[in-house]
Amino acid sequence: MTLIDGKAIAEKIKAELAKKAKTVKRTLAVILVGADPASEIYVGNKVKACEQVGIKSVVHRFDEKISRDELCDFIEKLNRDHSVHGILVQLPLPAHLNDPMVYRRVSWAKDVDGFHPANVGYLSLGEVESHIVDKPFIPCTALACLECIKSTGVPLKGAHAVVVGRSNIVGKPVAQLLLNHDCTVTVAHSHTKDLATITRQADILVVAVGKKHLITRDMVKKGAVVIDVGISRQRDVASGNASRIFGDVDFENVKDVAAYITPVPGGVGPLTVAMLLKNVLDCGE
């Protein structure tokens, strides 16, 4: 088994991005509504990462009671601001703003999260690299998964990839990316019957559900590439009831079956941030 070290891969990518940032000046605007502790941490990490490579970032903080119209008006203002190249709306939003039409107000050309229907459409059409006006964006976690897989050197063409999870943020874009790289792709989800039979067919297995140890040793094909995207925080009896982060894959039992596997944490997560930085620097190209 070879561990896919997301941190090491991310550092190499960030070093290359830092070189580009010396000549390509970009500004990222981050919108943070409310004071969710997890969101504060995520935004802080993104700001720190921007500083590391030389990207300017500006965090716009709003009270959780801001109205839908007020927030949308501010997003439109950023869309028109030529000094802002990328816009990120930190999720989750408060319940009254939890409407796709809010973050879809972000111009697709500044949508570094890759959630705008236009960006989703270009990915689906396989036209991410060939679009001639502005470069469309792919969701950062999906890009991170692809980088993890590419780092193994395992050929994608003709490989059977199984993606467990069908979210718009990870599952669907990962499946589309792999399809665009000539994989044969199966998407499994909560209604899939006999999941183990499906996952055991995978040369490449990507799991993005958020359910602790959903994937066990008997569900993995020997020699497979296993990408664990899921994160759940639970108390661990073995660690004296301390809070721990778990992945969707039972790492300790699966690692001896897989040829390559990502750890949680330290796998897809660091690369997701690196891919965000790449998207920001690609703005306007």
Positions marked active-site: 46, 90, 113
Q: Is the distance from CB of 206 to CB of 161 less than 8 angstroms?
A: yes
Q: How far apart are CA 230 and CA 246, in angstroms?
A: 8
Inter-axis angle of helices 140-151 and 268-282, to 10 degrees? Answer: 120
Q: Which amino acid is at 257?
A: V
Q: How far apart are CA 216 and CA 198, in angstroms?
A: 13
Nearest to 206 by CA among 157, 270, 259, 249: 249
**Tokens encoding 51:** 């500083």
Q: How far apart are CA 16 and CA 153, in angstroms?
A: 20
Question: What is the three-class DSSP state of 24?
Answer: coil
Q: Which amino acid is at 177?
A: L
Q: Which amino acid is at 166?
A: R
